Structure 1
Amino acid sequence: MADVLSKGTLFPEELIPDLINKTTGASALAQLSGQKPIPFNGLKEFTFSLDKEVDIVAENGAKSKGGATIAPRTIVPLKIEYGARISDEFVYASEEARMDYLTAFSEGFARKAAKGLDLMAFHGINPRTGVASSVIGNNHFDKAITNIVTIKSGDSPDDNIEAAIALIQNKELDVTGLIMAPEFRSALAKLKTSSGSKLYPELAWGNNPGTLNGLSVRTTPNLAHGASLDRGLVGDFANAFRWGYAKQIPVEVIRYGNPDNDTTLGDLKGHNQVYLRAEMYLGWGILDPNAFAFIKAGA
């Protein structure tokens, strides 16, 4: 893929409206959980629980101790960015043409940010490098979740899901959603009844029905990214996971310098280029790790 986009070689003289945006990316976590604005300096959420059951009190009887546990979870936004060089002919193009560029770029950035949310929150990695991020630290599912079902040879994926749900519900917690890797969704789609018909026909041909047996479901390759053994993640996405953004900076057009620190491409002005950059402060938090369970492939 080229490092510099040149309008003269990539586009016709008259730029057609509505550029076809081939950028891919989506977030299963964002689809299953609630987004809320996050202050620039972070957000502290408190998880609250009453530790015991209600108590019967006899007439004139003494009341016993109940108790409550309040635990804080801090969500601190981190900065993500994306930039690209284009020919400085962009600066002299018509306003309509410039808007087409900026719209396509900002939409592409939104898709990359959505995919990045999954990769960062699932695996704790920098999406660009694929390497564990010290900025994220332990604030990701792979590190936080201890409820794990390991897929064994001959296992039914249906049984794996039931076992994972049981790990959560045995702790009297709710399950609101299931995220699957494509290979796990495919295994589930192949299951058949005793009569030979498909057990889950709504999953046939790669379809994503949105719900399965009344449970919200999403399929994403982000869960099994790289060498990850993650194949399924069930849990209370509606109440035990939070995400949001603190500030979304509009696309910036940079005309001078070397904003991407590329020693080969060098100075923008010296190469008749400008730089488009978008940034966002994005944060998330796993409020209760016990409310989630992984289904993982064997090592």
Structure 2
Amino acid sequence: MAMDTTKIKLPHEVATVITKKAKDTSTIAALSPAEPQLFLDKDYMVFNGSSEAEVVAEGAQKSSYEETLTPVVGKRFKVVTTTRVTSELKWADEDNQLQIVKSIQDDQAKALGRVLDYVVYHAFNPKPKTTLDGFTALSTSAVQVTSEGDEVADIDALAEAVSDEYDINGIALSKTWAAQLRKLRVPSTGMRLYPEIPINLQVGNLDGIPAATSGTVNGRLITPSTKVLAFLGDFSLIKWGMVRDITSEIIEYGDPDNTGKDLKGYNQIAYRTEALYSYAILDPKGIAVLKAGE
């Protein structure tokens, strides 16, 4: 019996164009290295290291100090993204090497990167655009700094706001604020004040410290606006990692995203990518957040 191909219309020749909008990336992943995680709500025992040397006379009694360990409990969260497409796309992709499926999976992997910033910075769930119960946003727990409209003074104010117990080793910029900094010029020469900020705003360092720019810093998807312009401080205080690595699968049956539409019944397949994160912020006082004024 001959194969029935009446339901499938494949093109004789295809020129594929996949639009690539600028994608936000995770600034936390860029500024704070990931750590392997176990399937547990990991407790971080914070050692403050408060010892100081003591000068004692010969034969004099020596003193000691008591060290306390402060536990900080990490939080786990599972993330998933599912994309439905016509089942014919899979066959067309295989026959014509359109790379559409690969692009879908790459797009999903980037979404799983961005969600780390949304959860840690804003306690926000990107797809349904809702706040996350039981999560504390760094944008509210970090040291608060309000912009005075002078970008150079704002950087100084951010640095001064960070507790002097910590070293400043990173700054996460919103694209809005990065663009403002890039426009600043030295009045006498017209030279850019921050030439390290390129025209695409993807800065690698700023004023001598590592930097990263993304729309996740201010929360592009969040309404009303968070007014967040930047985070600056000790990014090693943000501990995070994958409890389970990113996995991707092709689903051909059922209703995987509870839309009420069975995949087979609608001639669809679904591509699903998911991962499991864990993170903890050891001390919010080690990071300052800059917000626009009223």
Normalised-by-shorter TM-score class: 0.7 to 0.9
Where does 1:190-269 land on structure 2 (aligned, <5 Å)? 190-197=183-190, 198-203=192-197, 205-225=199-219, 226=222, 227-237=225-235, 239-248=236-245, 250-263=247-260, 266-269=261-264
Matched pairs, number: 282
Aligned partners of 1:107 and 1:172: how far apart in 2? 40
Cα drift, residue 296 of structure 1: 1.0
Say whether the 8 Å CA contact 1:149–1:294 is kept in structure 2.
yes
* Match in the other structure for 2:4: none
Secondary structure of the residue that 2:241 maps to in structure 1?
Answer: strand
Where does 1:10-159 land on structure 2 (aligned, <5 Å)? 12-13=11-12, 20=18, 22=20, 24-90=23-89, 92=91, 100-134=99-133, 137-138=135-136, 140-145=137-142, 147-152=143-148, 155-159=149-153
Say whether the 8 Å CA contact 1:50–1:69 is kept in structure 2.
no
Which amino acid letter does the alignment assign opposite residue 36 of structure 1?
E
Aligned partners of 1:236 and 1:12: how far apart in 2? 54
TM-score, reference length from structure 1: 0.84
What's the Cα RMSD here? 2.7
Residues 191 and 250 (structure 1), Cα distance of their counterparts in 2 relative to 1, 3 Å cut:
closer
Which amino acid letter does the alignment assign opposite residue 185 of structure 1?
A
* Structure 2, unpaired ranges of 5+: 1-6
Identity of aligned residues (%): 28
Aligned partners of 1:90 and 1:98: how far apart in 2? 11
Which structure has more helix as a fraction of its residues? Answer: 1
Residues 120 and 14 (structure 1), Cα distance of their counterparts in 2 relative to 1, 3 Å cut:
farther
Which amino acid letter does the alignment assign opposite residue 147 of structure 2?
I
Say whether the 8 Å CA contact 1:51–1:67 is kept in structure 2.
no
Aligned partners of 2:42 and 2:145: how far apart in 1? 32
Aligned partners of 1:242 and 1:99: how far apart in 2? 39
TM-score, reference length from structure 2: 0.85
1:183 aligns with 2:176: yes
Say whether the 8 Å CA contact 2:93–2:100 is kept in structure 1.
no
Residues 74 and 13 (structure 1), Cα distance of their counterparts in 2 relative to 1, 3 Å cut:
farther
